[in-house]
A and B are shown apart, each in its own frame.
Chain A
Amino acid sequence: MTQELILETRGLTKEFRGFTAVDDVNLQVREGHIHALIGPNGAGKTTVFNLLTKFLPPTRGEILYRGKPITGMKANEIARLGLVRSFQISAVFAHMTALENVRVALQRRLGTSFHFWKSERTLDHLNDRAMELLDEVGLREYADVLTVEMPYGRKRALEVATTLALEPTMMLLDEPTQGMGAEDVDRIVELIRRVARGRTVLMVEHNLSVVSRLCDRITVLARGAVLAEGDYASVSADPRVREAYMGSEAVEEGASA
């Protein structure tokens, strides 16, 4: 495993009308790691994601991707770099089938996405690849189903397939297991473990058992600032972390799982 930094922030800060949601964050994500961003509700985790993917402009600070500043880029350009995010609330194209969801991600590379004079049948040759991706996340039998009609856990898996269609070098997942039953959680954990091979993952996660099972490194955020950083053992042993966030029971629960 390489130890190169893939993503780095320096003094990243976001203020909303005087309220500091992200406070001078220096984050370092190593290539090939599954890196967790944890912290209590309202700590600023989603806001960090929005800053990293340029859905929000930072008030101050710098973002570097493989050592190059990307602070001035647009959200869609970040995605084209290979840095693809998911959303805290499931983000699918509801009135398209599962296959079409994946295909719309695949079609970007064809370079015909502005071609309004071509038939959509010119996209049919992407169907096989789309099926492979659906297969990879166990959604083969949902290919033809409209996404609105799919169960919640399956929608989240579909998001992963759609993201994989872009062949990202780094995935940012905002609470991929939120609101799921234990069975779905296990499925998603396995899925993340599998797709993280050869990739970097930065994930926000509340479920500490998931964090302990998956993550190489953890950054704890509280009130917008970094409180602690390290592997699971050192972070969960940190008394400041226990006090600010986890509460001792939560840590033990997570560690024993």
Chain B
Amino acid sequence: MATTQTLTPAMERQRNARLRRGMLYLVLIAVGLAAPFVAYPVFLMKVLCFALFACAFNLLLGYAGLLSFGHAAFLATGGYVTGFLLSSYPGLTPELGILVGTLAAVVVGTLFGALAIRRQGIYFAMVTLALAQLVYFVFVQSPFTGGEDGLHGVPRGALFGLISLRSNLAMYYFVFAVFLIGFAIIQRTVHSPYGQVLKAIRENEPRAVSLGYNVDAYKLLAFVISAGLAGLAGSTKTVVFQLASLTDAHWHMSGEVILMTLLGGVGTLFGPLVGAGLVVSLQHQLAQSPLGNWVSVILGLIFVLCVLSFRSGIVGEIAKSVRKNFK
């Protein structure tokens, strides 16, 4: 049939892209499984939690074109809700605590999104920042968050009531599984019928409207998915470190996730992972060195450098040079 013949190159290219992605996942999974035997599991868990946070942020900025300056609110909402539940109800298993924390972030995300989504560009960023500050003050004042002290000694418990997460190795594999689930959700979202419309909206919003799409609703869904996954990252982090604190709600955290995403490569699938790994490692290394007090300054300088010299981020630049040299 003539039609199928003409379509072959397109379909083949898509299939190749899918195969390439599949290979990358396999490598990612292999590396993830082996990693705790090479590096310190607690450090790796921190990287994975922030990587998931950055991936969630990237879905919004890279694929929906929305710059949120308030993503810390979702990370913290997940973290506090999970921390409070697991501390208050000893019978509750960690996966349920994390699930409720994630749902709480979805609810907060829906509220934020409904208020912010109509604004464009910098106004959108400002509304999200303002709402996140509001959430920050709520957390400072609320009795259930422990105020300035935060929540300490959150029990890790046993997964499904069966597998104790006390050992860092067991905890690590659980966190890795959570990361993979979050990553898979983002993957699928980007390569779904919804992802196609989202892409069209990012490419040409008025045209998408003229085709009959209610663009605000599509953007809102991206915002809610992103907020939920950020909450998932926060909830998981609370279980790992048995701690929820105001650091997660502070606007610095909203800035840090922007840095991780831009550094690794916005709009690329693996960029946020690379960016989070780099930033967390740097913070880790610097904290132990005499430059400990200069962490923020050094990160700031890296940020400036990144924005000025390689705008597509590390993964973005690599992808570009691969495309140039192998095409």
Give A residues with C-beta under 8 Å from B: 53, 55, 74-77, 79-80, 84-87, 91-97, 99-100, 103-105, 107-108, 110, 112-120, 122-124, 127-128, 131, 140, 143-144, 162, 166
Contacts and interface: CB of A to CB of B under 8 A. Distances in A.
B162 interface: no
A143 B149 CA distance: 60
What 8 A-B pairs have minimum CB-CB distances, sorted nearest first? A79-B212, A93-B203, A116-B194, A91-B207, A116-B189, A144-B10, A80-B212, A104-B200
A75 B211 CA distance: 9
Contacts of A96: 199-200, 203
A79 B197 CA distance: 16
A128 B210 CA distance: 23
Contacts, number: 119
A85 B209 CA distance: 10
Interface of B: 3, 6-7, 9-11, 13, 188-189, 191-197, 199-200, 203-204, 206-215, 217-218, 221, 225
A120 B197 CA distance: 11
Nearest to B203: A93
Given A79-B210, A79-B212, A131-B7, A116 B196 contact: no
B211 A105 contact: yes
B211 A113 contact: no
Contacts of A113: 193-194, 196-197, 213, 218
A127 B8 CA distance: 11
A124 B298 CA distance: 48
Contacts of B199: 93, 95-96
Contact of B188 (A92, A95, A114, A117): A117
A120 B196 contact: yes
A76 B225 contact: no
Contact of A87 (B11, B189, B193, B207): B207
